[in-house]
Amino acid sequence: MLTLLHQLRTVKVVGIADRNPDAPGLRRARELHVPVFQESDNLLRVTSPDLVIDVTGDEAMETILRQRLPAGVGILSGPSSRLLYDLVKHEFALQAELLQTDKLAGIGSFAAGIAHDINNPLQLILGLAENLTEEQDLETVHLQARDIVEAVKRTTAICRDLTSYSRRASGRSEQVVSLNAKLDEALKIARYAVGLQDIEVRKSYWPEATAIGNPDEILHVFINLMTNAIQAMDHGGILTITTATCDDTTIVKISDTGHGIPPEMIGRIFEPFFTTKPPGKGTGLGLYNIKNVVHRMHGSINVESHLGQGTTFTIVFPQNKPEEDGRSS
């Protein structure tokens, strides 16, 4: 429950109380930098909440809380808190399914790039192996056998990249993620969907760019934005990837010099199922999923676009700084 509520952008979890200092909820709260208390009285006194959610299962607790809480503070208790938990869980499961749907749809568009990148080393392997059946010169045999080994390694790297992309994001928990490494990984995968041949890639990285989140989800965000950017430059252009820091935030910018987004559409691009691509080419879930992932990380995403000049997506992530929670017991 705490993890789910923490991810809701509209909710600020001001604290959690449990008498057992080793309770799993308190451990998770510490990981999320949510203040923890052993006495609920302290929590109520210090944090002045708008809503208290009672998950003790103790029927008497609601009465006790009503006696202690000031007027106007809401209480969710018993079956109500259970219902809230089920609804929030369902919402997150739905979002995870939409993310996975979008990813699997994306794999279809990778077919050309994957075939290209696997069949090229296979051609080398086949040609050299055929030659080795007749080759007499021992040094040539060694050199060509080494080339075959390298080609096999390249092919396995492709499979590894795709496995990492197609994996269900829910399998991994939140952690500190190096955004520069994820951007590089995303660029490798995005080029399967769209050839990078006539695209110049410019990178400018702040070396310590990190964010707290699910690494698979962050990877998906970057792949999606880069794929869109490259597809917008069908006659070549410049893809600029920047990470920077400003006022306790980490900023990621992905810019293209493509055809831009028409002003009448820009307000709708984050809506679910909104797409400007022809039928079968896009699910319309990409930017909607991206917005959800970024919001769950308590970040924000903005777009600036000029017709005929290009588009820039800017994501702002909060930096990984523990809250001042001297109140924690």
Distance CA 178, CA 211 (A): 7
Indicate the residue among 94 and 126 with the shorter CB distance to another protein: 126
Indicate the residue among 83 and 115 with the shorter CB distance to another protein: 115
CB 316 within 8 A of CB 251: yes
What single DSSP character describes residue 298?
Answer: T
What is the footprint of another protein within residues 268-327 (CB under 8 A)? none
Does the protein bind another protein through residue 156 (CB under 8 A)? no
The residue with tokens 């396995």 is 156
Q: Nearest Cα to 238, choosing from 314, 316, 315, 312? A: 312
Indicate the residue among 94 and 111 with the shorter CB distance to another protein: 111
Among 116, 168, 172, 281, binds another protein (CB under 8 A): 116
Does the protein bind another protein through residue 118 (CB under 8 A)? yes
Element (H, E) at 73: none
Indicate the residue among 127 and 272 with the shorter CB distance to another protein: 127
Give the binding range for another protein (CB under 8 A) out of 165-173, 190-198, 278-286, 300-308.
190-198
| CA-to-CA separations, 100 to 167, 169, 286, in angstroms, rounded | 8, 8, 10
Q: Write the CB contacts of 158 (distance below 8 Å, at least 6 apart in sequence).
A: 114, 117, 118
Indicate the residue among 280 and 322 with the shorter CB distance to another protein: 280
Element (H, E) at 163: helix 138-166
Element (H, E) at 42: helix 40-47
Least Å from the CB of residue 144 to another protein:
9
Least Å from the CB of residue 219 to another protein:
24
What is the footprint of another protein within residues 192-221 (CB under 8 A)? 195, 197-198
What single DSSP character describes residue 70?
Answer: P
Does the protein bind another protein through residue 121 (CB under 8 A)? yes
Which parts of this chain interact with another protein (CB under 8 A)?
A: 111-112, 115-128, 130-131, 147, 151, 195, 197-198
